[in-house]
Amino acid sequence: MIRITRRDFAMAAGAALVTREIQAQTKEAGLITRAIPATGELLPAVGLGTAYVFDRSDERTRQAGAEVVRTLIEGGGRLIDTASTYGDAEDVLGTTINAQGVREKIFIATKLEAPDPAELKRSLARLKTAKLDLLQLHNVSNARQSLAQFKAWKEQGICRYIGVTSTFHRDFAAMGAVIARERPDFVQVDYSIDDREAQQRILPVAAEVKAAVLTAQPFGRGRLFRIVRGKPVPQWASGFAATWAQFFLKYLLADERVTAVIPGTSNPAHMTENLCAMHGVLPDPDQRRQMETFVQSL
């Protein structure tokens, strides 16, 4: 699996300069937030994913995790998504949040492979918290899967919201059936400008049951940065995007059904750049179609 990275097409100094320029241009603007349909609670629209970037419990990963979490909070973000199967990610995240004393500033989302009390107990211990903000059933693949145990945990106060996830097109039919029947608070799905199948198959049913939507892999597992390597952001997009990260993330946020994007990174400069997508205007429907055509042409 290739990690999401921008080292191949943006020098760190240049990225830092762009980031400062974006911050200067947008510091007066409010952050883009979205309401969680189940409660109306507002969630900052850019969060942090931990798959493949927080998966090792070594000093380098812990240091990077601490810096990225600090950057997320300072930039107005709250949401961090992890899972019981992301290597040591839960442990790295829990240690970081505990050391910084920022539990109340973080919206913690994690995932279980099954409604297994032992797996839940392990996740809570690793995350060093007695209560989760969002608990998700990971990689839904069977239309008969039930959220009964997750709903029971929610009633017990172990989590505030429950959800389901899938990043596999072959499982979208099962995912849709579970969403329609179980009516989760959140749906997490693979969705990017070059992979829009979720637009037609998952987002409509999520909207129907009034579920919040998190978009995993918003940079297409690194594909998007590779295809624009060496290319400038088009001039016609300058009104809403100064960087490719803004371009790709704002495309998704312009879909009002999307609650938050959760790109993964262990680089504080990239975290800052991602957070800048919460500032300024979003592309309108015509601009979104132009963005799609542009990416398809690359």
Asked whether the predicted pLDDT for residue 113 surpasses 60, the reply is yes
241 in a structural domain: yes
23: confidence class by pLDDT, cuts 50, 70, 90 = very low
What's the pLDDT at 95?
Answer: 95
Q: What percent of the chain has pLDDT over 90?
A: 87
194 in a structural domain: yes
79 in a structural domain: yes
29: confidence class by pLDDT, cuts 50, 70, 90 = low
Asked whether the predicted pLDDT for residue 13 surpasses 60, the reply is no
What's the pLDDT at 89?
Answer: 95
Report the pLDDT averaged over residues 38-59: 94
- Mention every residue, 6+ apart, whose C-beta is less than 8 A from residue 113: 84, 85, 119, 138, 139
Report the pLDDT averaged over residues 139-165: 98
4 in a structural domain: no
30: confidence class by pLDDT, cuts 50, 70, 90 = confident
1: confidence class by pLDDT, cuts 50, 70, 90 = very low
5 in a structural domain: no
- Mean pLDDT taken over the chain: 91
State how far the Cα of 199 lies from the Cα of 176, in Å rounded to an integer.
Answer: 12
CATH number assigned to the domain comprising residue 256: 3.20.20.100
Burial class (CB in 10 A: 0-12, 13-18, 19+), 14: exposed
Looking at the structure of the chain, the number of domains it has is 1
2 in a structural domain: no
CA neighbor of 291 nearest in space, from 243, 236, 215: 236
Domain residues for the domain of 279 are 12-297
Report the pLDDT averaged over residues 175-184: 98
176 in a structural domain: yes
Asked whether the predicted pLDDT for residue 2 surpasses 50, the reply is no
